Structures are given as C-alpha cells and as structure tokens.
Amino acid sequence: MMYNNMNKLSVYILSIVVLLSVCTSSCQKKLADLYYDPDQTVQPSIEQMFTEMLSNDRVRPSYWDIRTFVVMHTGIYTQSVGYLNNSIEYQQNAGYTQDRWDDFYRPGNIDGHGGIMAHYRLIEQLYSSIKDDKTKATEEVFLMAAKVVMLDQASQIVDMWGDIPFSEAGSVNTTGDIVSAKFDNAADVYNSILDGLKTASTYFTNLQLPTTTQVTFTKQDILLSGQIEKWQRYANSIRLRLLMRISFVDEQRAKNEVLNMLGNPSVYPLADGATAYTPATTDILLQPLTTHTDDLHLALTEIINYSAPDYLLNTVMKPSGDPRIPVLFDKYGRTVGDQFIPNTDYNALPVNETLEDQQINLGRYAIVDSATFLFNSKIPGIVISAPEVNFLKAEAYERWGGGDAKAAYELAVRQSIAFYYYLNGLNTTTRTPLTPPAAAAIDTFLQNGQMQYTGTTSEKLAKIWIQKWVHFGFLQSIQSWSEYRRTKYPALQFYPSTLPGYELPPTRLVYPASETAYNTNYASVKAKDLRTAKIFWDIKP
C-alpha cells in the first residue's frame, strides 16, 4: 500500500516536472518575443529617419502650428494675423510654446511632430557606427542633408529663445545617458550653424551619387526629391539669411561672407530664381502629403484671427494698390437679420480698437482669402523662397554694394506676387484660381510712390524690409518676427494690455517648463530668461 502510494506519487511528480520543463523552455522564447511591441521595429534606419526629419508639421502650415503657435504668438508679435485685443494677448502660452520647443528636440509619437535633433543625433551615431568605408561614403548624403535641415531648424529655435541646448542636445537616444545638455551661447550656435551650412554646401557641390544611393535618396527625400543641386541652394540660401541676421552685430563677417557668396554664384548657387522663377521648382517648399485634406479655417477662426491685419492691409498694401490683395484677402461682410451685406472695400481690423468694438464690427473687416488660406489644403511649407533670397540680396547690395539692389528688390516683389498667386492657384476645390496680374500692371505697381525704390539708404532698406515682411505673412511668421526684431521694420503699434508685465509683445520667448524644471543647466541662463531680453542679433534701437 505504502509502496503503491509512493509509486503513484513519483509518477505525479515526474509528470509535473515534465510538464513544467516543457512549458518553461517554450515560455522562455515566448518571453523574449513578447518583450517587443509587435507594431514597432527594433531596426533603426538612416534613410527613414531622414524622411522623418523632413516630414515636419512646423514647416507645413498645419492646424496645430497655426492655431497654437502662430496666431497666439509670432503672428501677433508681427501683426501678420488679425487678433482681438484681449488682456492676455501678449502672454506666452506655456504649453503651446513648450510644444514648439519639443517638436524640435524630441521624437513625436505622431508623424510631423518632431524630433529633428533626436533623429539627427541618431543618424550621426548610425553613420559613425558604419564600419565599411564604401557604405559610409554613400550614406554621407543623408547625413549632410539631415544636417542642413537640423541647422535650419535650430537657427529658428535660437531666433525665438536665444541660448539653446545644442552641442550636447539629443543625447538620450544615442548614449542612453541622462545628461542635461548645456545651454550654448546663441552666437556660438549661429557660428556652428553657419560653418555647418558651408561645409554641407561644399559637400553638395558637384556631388555624384552611386545610382542605388541616388534612387534611395530621391525616394526618401520628400523635400527636394533628391536634387543635389537644390540641396546646395537650400544650404546657401539659409546661410545667406543667417548672415544677414547677424549683419548688425557682426557686420564685417556678414559682409565678407555674403559678398563672397553673391560674387560667386556658381560656387554658391542660391534659391533665388534669378533666371526664371517658378515657385514650385525654384523655392524650397515642403509639399503636403498627398493624403492631406485639412486646411487652416479652424486654426484661423477658432480664436478669431481671420480678419485682415491693420498695418499690412491699411498701411502697406491698400495705399500702394498691391496686386496681391485679391489673393490675400476677401472683402467679407456681415449678416443683419437674414441679409448678408457684403463689404464694398478691403478694410483691416483696427489694431487700436477696444475688444468690444473689434467684436461688434468684425463683419465690416476683410478676412484672409478663403481660397488661398482658409480652405486651401495644398499650401506647402515654405522652407525658404526666392523672394526672401532676393530681398536679402537687395539689402546686402544696398548696404555693401556689389550688385543692383533695385533690381533685386523689384525681382523679389515680382516673385512674391507670383508666389501668392501660385498659392491661390493651388486651391482647385473652393474657387477658380485668380489670374495673376499682367506684367504691365506690376510695373505700374512698382512705380507707385510707396513701392518705388527711391530715397535714402535707410528709406530703401525700410522698403526692402517692409516688403519682405509682407511676403513672409503669417506662413513664415518666425522669420517675420526675427526680421522685425532685427530691422525694427515695419514700425508696428500695439494696443497695450492691462495685464501687469505683459503690456506689450515680448522680444523673445521664455524657456519652456521642461528645461526650467529638468535641465540642471538652466541656472546658467536663468538670469537672461526674460520675455524682454534680446537675442544677440537684436541690437538695432
């Protein structure tokens, strides 16, 4: 009996042990399989991360960027959008500016939202880990193109915040260590950017890629579809922009390098459309995804930013009979009872009226054009455009000689007109595109007293800067804000707010909470972290 029991027992135990061991060995493999999310990959790729860097909803005019950043911050600071005079109008929205900052640095979990710096660091690391020299050589184009994109975007972060984490930024994805990146001096960052752009430009000069690499590059490059030469123009144009930006603080360097660039167009080709200008091919534009259907009507209407800005329409465009008015604005009208009473003329929302008056009379003011802006889902992201390049050239020629400033100025204005008619023409769904004005009409326009390139140097420069500001509009509000702060043109008036400490727009953005809270190096910049502090290139009184 006892023996039997023991026997039975050992059978039980044995079978359990067998069962467990079978389970364990299969379980071990299962454990490893389940460690990874089946919807994610563990294999990084330089090419695909490069594409991720390009697909940027801060470059494309996305609902989120326009609604939370442009019309609440830079658009107001430059009066590129109409806005109501709320008492909190000039106070920075901490969450949304944090978001803008984050989109540069960290990967987003939604496409188009970020990680320029993080992905650039990953690309750098992957590139340096390539052992094979040949592969390394072919992959270099991705690294260089990625670098141009990163530097371009980094310059905008400097323009808004000043000193930023740069040289040590983005390390968590590569080293895995939690190191708070130090804040690099803004001027130093600019130097690195300028040097980097020059290196990239040199690299792209006459670059021939092996066919297979070229095919991959053409596919993954959703910005310029693999046109090497255009990458070079892109790098040079941004470099020109940034050199002009520092031209008041370091005029000698700016002058030397700019004149060198402008004097050697074959070495330093620019996206200037000097011979022929077609926005779609000349400009560096990030086309929307082909599946993109959204437009900006909610972004501009939700907090009432669709009204025509005062200075832009009333002071600059209307008096000169600007031919861009029909593609920039609609006259609009108001509803009284069941009646829609259309406005007879283009009138902008007065910037100095009280909130109440602005609200009551909203219908009496023109609004941004519904075909060009409100219901246009095809607006590309403007990286840099020929009109801007030519305005920059005009300024350089005007200040330092070396070329025909007037010609550059007039070319820029003509290109800008073409550009906005191009944008208008992209919308084929809500309205028939307007016909661009005839060359003669534009000539007349350029002879208009307000437009005519005459007067003292400072008057001419003012015209260049004001027209550049017109060209930027709200689609390039960060550039617009930077140039406004650098040049102090146009001379905008702001309705003072009653909120203590926030009476007028800031001259820079204050750092987001992620840095003030978690970056141990924040202490080094804390004293400068004021909304009234100035970026290093902002020295003009």
Q: Contacts with other proteins in 278-337 (CB under 8 A)?
A: 287, 289-291, 293-295, 297-298, 301, 304, 335, 337
341 near other proteins, rule: CB under 8 A: no
276 binds other proteins (CB under 8 A): no
Question: How many CB atoms lie under 10 A from the CB of residue 391?
Answer: 30
Residue with tokens 């300024």: 395
Q: Applying CB under 8 A, does 118 fall inside the site for other proteins?
A: yes
Site mask for other proteins (CB under 8 A), range 380-419, x = bound? ----------------------------------------
If binding is defined by CB under 8 A, does position 39 make contact with other proteins? yes
Spatial distance between the Cα atoms of 364 and 82, rounded to a whole number of angstroms: 13
In the list 124, 140, 156, 173, the residue contacting other proteins (rule: CB under 8 A) is 173
User: Looking at beta carbons only, is 107 or 309 nearer to other proteins?
Assistant: 107
Cα–Cα distance measured from residue 358 to residue 409, given in angstroms and rounded to the nearest whole number: 35
Site for other proteins in 444-473 (CB under 8 A): none
**Nearer to other proteins (CB atom), residue 410 or residue 529:** 529
Determine how many CB atoms are found less than 10 A away from the CB of residue 133.
8
**CB closer to other proteins out of 3 and 134:** 3
DSSP symbol at 173 = G
Question: Computed over its alpha carbons, how large is the radius of gyration of the chain?
Answer: 28
CB of 421 to other proteins, least distance (A): 20
Report how far apart, in Å, the C-alpha atoms of 126 and of each of 120, 154, 176, 392 are.
10, 21, 14, 37
Determine the Cα–Cα distance for residues 435 and 415; give it in Å rounded to an integer.
Answer: 15
CB-facing half-sphere around the CA of 268: CA atoms within 13 A: 18
Residue 128 or 430: the one with the smaller Cβ distance to other proteins is 430
How many residues touch other proteins under the rule CB under 8 A: the total is: 120
Q: At what angle do helices 457-472 and 405-426 cross, to 10 degrees?
A: 10
Segment interacting with other proteins, rule: CB under 8 A, options 119-127, 315-323, 461-469, 477-485: 119-127
- The minimum distance between CB 49 and other proteins, in angstroms, equals 5
Q: What distance in Å separates the CA atoms of residue 504 and residue 485, rounded to the nearest whole number?
A: 14
Q: 176-195 mask for other proteins (x: CB under 8 A)?
A: xxxxxx--------------
Q: Where are the alpha helices (DSSP H) in 205-350?
A: 211-220, 228-245, 251-263, 279-282, 297-301, 310, 318-320, 325-328
- Site membership for other proteins, residue 115 (CB under 8 A): yes
Interface residue with other proteins among 94, 187, 446, 533 (CB under 8 A) is: 94
16 interacts with other proteins by CB under 8 A: yes
508 is an interface residue for other proteins by CB under 8 A? no
- The CA–CA distances, whole Å, from 171 to 113, 125, 176, 271, 479 equal 19, 10, 7, 33, 28
Q: Which is nearer to other proteins, 37 or 133 (CB)?
A: 37
